[in-house]
Structure 1
């Protein structure tokens, strides 16, 4: 539901585009919810940076590698998307789980951020904010405001 809320009104070339969503109940009576994205033929950035042993065995030729130009372009694409989410969207959105497996690459190797399941929509007024626990993938924690302040100095 958080992902649906986050993606409902945002439009940017470097964010995944949702085709549709579905909601159902599985054979055991559990809720099933899914978002259907446009297909990203080049998979995730993780696959390109850290191919699994199975992927390397499946590819008979030399594994594909990203050029320096492609890496810089992908980093710029991600930066544009994050800037949009934080500064230009109607309600600021913090992704909370940005990692290489959540960056999908289209046919032209353009990066698209996906998986907004842990996203936090920030209140317009700072007084409305509430503290939350650490969110995101185990082993990853987004930098706090104090780290951002240090980076500015």
Structure 2
């Protein structure tokens, strides 16, 4: 796709290692796109499908920075593995969950935290029982701005300088980041039963976007009808 993968935007392309400038609204939209794709796979396909390899390199971005979920080589129908998941451990190091829809939710939580902090789950800092999940959980709620990608702090400073309602916009950004970290943590808890469902993640992510834009909060019926119409468009044939 025209804008490559999310991996390149977050961590560079492996050559010059220069990441690109990914705005907060772009990260928010990408997170919603991916959540919508997973919700479609889990809840709106004729037979529920598990992706099993959700990570930044499998998130592709088109000309308009709309995210597509690609690489279905490890995907399985839920009917093949059962609701408890018994196919075995598949996926990429740092993102490996059990083979179930809740495994995809776990990977989404890790992906969301990575997009906010710019730290991958295999970062050198995560050792001695410290993980990306625990790193983010320990920051909630007061220290969240201390763990976010520094580029977001630059963007916040620019908003403060040029926006007439900069205080409200900055506060909304803080509140949205805290809410996104909470979702990331809830999705990546150890117990699958305690993780959120993707349908609920989509609704909450739309609410966060509405809060940031100051357009009010959409709930259930209005958001759900839009998701049913658009969910499949966030899948890639790659």
Report the TM-score when normalising by structure 1. Answer: 0.61
SS of 2:15's equivalent? helix
- Matched with 2:194 is 150
Q: Which structure is higher in helix share?
A: 2
Per-residue CA deviation, residues 77-111 of structure 1 (Å, 9 max, x unaligned), is: 00000000000011100000000000000000000
Higher relative contact order (CA 8 A, sep 6+): 1
Bigger Cα displacement from structure 2, 106-115 vs 45-54: 45-54
The ranges of structure 1 where at least 4 consecutive aligned residues each deviate by more than 3 angstroms after the TM superposition are: 143-146
Unmatched runs of 5 consecutive residues or more in structure 1? 1-39, 58-62
**Are residue 95 (structure 1) and residue 56 (structure 2) matched?**
no
Structure 2 match to 1:136: 91
Aligned to 2:2: 41
Q: State whether residues 9 and 20 of structure 2, in contact with CA within 8 Å, keep that contact through their aligned partners in structure 1.
A: yes
Q: CA deviation at 1:41?
A: 0.5
Unaligned runs of 5+ in 2: 103-189, 197-238
CA deviations on 1:2-31 (whole Å, 9 max, x unpaired) are: xxxxxxxxxxxxxxxxxxxxxxxxxxxxxx
| Corresponding residue for residue 5 of structure 1 | none
Please state which structure has a larger fraction of its residues in strand. 1
Contact persistence 2:60–2:68 (CA under 8 A): yes
Aligned residue pairs, count: 107
Q: Does 1:114 align with 2:93?
A: no
